[in-house]
Amino acid sequence: MVKNWALVIGINQYDFLQPLNYAKRDAQLMQEFLCNEVSFEKILFFSDDSPDIDGKSTRPYRANLLRVLQKLF
């Protein structure tokens, strides 16, 4: 059976670039859409201040993304 999972990333505060205004908000809206309208089974949300998953940071750094993906797959 197919599993519908999504990885949603919204970054407003970059370390070396000008900050964005709506990336995090757009990602949150996409997360809500995928959950409510499309009924995705699991949605992983990474943003500047997203909550931890199992005590691990979800700040959208390469190492954090790789750790989560390796754990899942």
**Residue of 40, 36, 32 lying closest to 6 (CA atoms):** 40
End-to-end, the C-alpha distance of the chain in Å comes to: 16
- pTM equals 0.82
Tally of helices (H runs) and strands (E runs) in the chain: 2, 2
Residue 32 has pLDDT above 90, yes or no: yes
Residues 29-63, buried b or exposed e (16+ Cβ, 10 A)?
ebbeebeeeeebeebbbbbeebeeeeeeebebeee
Give pLDDT tens digits for 43-61: 989 998 888 878 888 888 8
